Amino acid sequence: MRQLAPLVVLCLMLAPESALAGTQEAELSAAEVDHLSAEVAAQLRCPVCRNQSVLESSSGLAREMQSVIRDRLASGETPEEVRAYFVGRYGDWILLKPEPKGINLLVYLLPAAALLFGGLLLYYRIRRWTGATVSAPEASPAGLEVPDADAAPTEGARAAELPSPDADGGLSEEEEEWIRQQIGSLG
């Protein structure tokens, strides 16, 4: 039951929104009409100012549009119906945020696709760069290749020849003998 609590809270938070989407059964109070008309006006572009919403604009036409929105909501129309009325008159242009359908989908999908593509490109590039750094010692340049491995053992080969140290860190007799041999060979 405790696990369901966040779900219940979420449902309560979403409830007014979903109620608005349907037909408004009950008559709205003046405050509700105010709130809703401001919400719709904020979504519509002012035909005079163009870069401002109907709510922000102080042009005469925007003010009249606000009163049309208010009257339509007060007469029982839903915010969706009011928006549809303006789209029917001015086209999709009137909506500040285009509906995510048809060609408009590009506006929403293109940035995400570009980000994904760029991210993937970056990921493979970085992987190639770091991969190249790690594998560099393995691939020795052709000019530096040692023709006879016995004549001069490489660092790797010498390390392989080294007997492993004891668990307590001290040297065994065998190891000491090996070191003496090595020093002798240098002299």
Partner 1 sequence: MKRFGRWLIPILPIPALALLAFGLTRDVQVLPSAIVGEAAPEFRLETMAGDSLTLAGLDAQVVVLNFWASWCIPCRQEHPALVRATEVYDDSDVRVLGVLYQDTPEGAERFMRRFGGGWETVLDPGTRTAIDFGVYGVPETFFIDADRRIAYKHIGPLSWEILRTKVDSLLSAGGA
Question: Which residue ranges make up the site for partner 1 (CB under 8 A)?
Answer: 47-48, 60-61, 64-65, 67-68, 87-93
CB 73 within 8 A of CB 37: yes
Minimum Å gap between C-beta 148 and partner 1 is 36
Task: Select 36 or 86, whichever has its Cβ closest to partner 1.
Answer: 86
End-to-end CA gap in the chain: 83
- C-beta of 110 vs 152, nearer to partner 1: 110
Is 28 or 68 the residue whose CB approaches partner 1 more closely? 68
Q: CA-CA distance, 168 to 95, in Å (whole number)? A: 77
Q: Which is nearer to partner 1, 8 or 114 (CB)?
A: 114
Question: What residues does 44 pair with on adjacent strands?
Answer: 95
The least CB distance from residue 157 to partner 1, in Å, is 34
Q: What is the DSSP letter of 150?
A: T
| Min dist. Cβ of residue 90 to partner 1 (A) | 5
The Cα 80–Cα 39 span in angstroms is 11
